[in-house]
A and B are shown apart, each in its own frame.
Chain A
Amino acid sequence: EIVLTQSPGTLSLSPGERAALSCRASQSITSNYLAWYQQKPGQAPRLLIYGASSRATGIPDRFSGSGSGTDFTLTISRLEPEDFAVYYCQQYGYSPRTFGQGTKVEFK
């Protein structure tokens, strides 16, 4: 199974700052089949990015995804107060589908 390792575990930032979250796969992900989700406490995850770089419907353009092969990045250009949450990457190039362990973006 593909193991996704997210780093850092926690990112302490202030509103207005730029966030860069990393997701590294244990082997190359076919067709860049990688997605990113945001989860707030007590809520279900929300799809942000699919296909490594395509924004889901209704997602603000401050969220962007990049990368290929084994290294992927989710960038939030300028953090808004509502962006403080946990972020997960997920691969769908291989079965079983797997998720990373998450990166928490917290208030500095």
Chain B
Amino acid sequence: QVQLQESGPGLVTPSQTLSLTCTVSGGSITTGGYYWTWIRQHPGKGLEWIGFIYYSGNTYLNPSLKNRGTISVDTSKNQFSLKLRSVTVADTAVYYCARDPHGYGSYFDLWGRGTLVTVSS
């Protein structure tokens, strides 16, 4: 069955760039209709939708990120990635990648386990 796995540094220095990758296994990222999403959860808090990408490269990011974010896809590696520039302590969170079966950032039927990213000097 399809599984998602986040990877990347667990510690990022303030003002630097946070880079995470989600590897899709057990299925192809180019399967029609699926969109691929990043969501984060601040410690002890609720969930925040970051944005999505389609395998064609069509992407949308939450305006709350103030143009600091980029989502990209590498179909040859069956991966999609998140980059968040100029991070602050407010970006400390568990970052999840997830699958959206309905498109354009709808609901999320499959999630990775999540990876904690701490922003600290």
**In the complex, chain B residues whose CB is within 8 Å of the CB of A37:** 108
Which residues of B from 89 to 121 have beta carbons under 8 Å from A?
A: 96, 98, 102, 105-109, 111-114
Q: A88-B46, A96-B64 are in contact. Are A50 and B113 (CB under 8 A)?
A: no
Q: Does A56 contact B (CB under 8 A)?
A: yes
Q: Does B49 contact A (CB under 8 A)?
A: yes
- Taking a contact as CB atoms closer than 8 A, the residue among B48, B102, B111 that contacts A99 in the complex is B48
Q: A44-B112, A96-B63 are in contact. Are A33 and B105 (CB under 8 A)?
A: no
The range of chain A's interface size is: 20 to 34
Instruction: Tell me the bound Cα distance from A37 to B49 in angstroms.
Output: 14
**In the complex, chain B residues whose CB is within 8 Å of the CB of A92:** 102, 105-107
The reply to whether A99 and B96 contact each other, CB–CB distance below 8 Å, is: no
Instruction: Tell me the bound Cα distance from A98 to B105 in angstroms.
Output: 10
Could you tell me the dominant secondary structure of chain B's interface residues? loop
Listed in ascending order, the chain B residues whose CB lies under 8 Å from chain A are: 46-49, 60, 62-64, 96, 98, 102, 105-109, 111-114
**In the complex, chain A residues whose CB is within 8 Å of the CB of B102:** 50, 92
Nearest B residue to A46 by beta-carbon distance?
B111
Nearest B residue to A35 by beta-carbon distance?
B107
The reply to whether B113 and A44 contact each other, CB–CB distance below 8 Å, is: yes
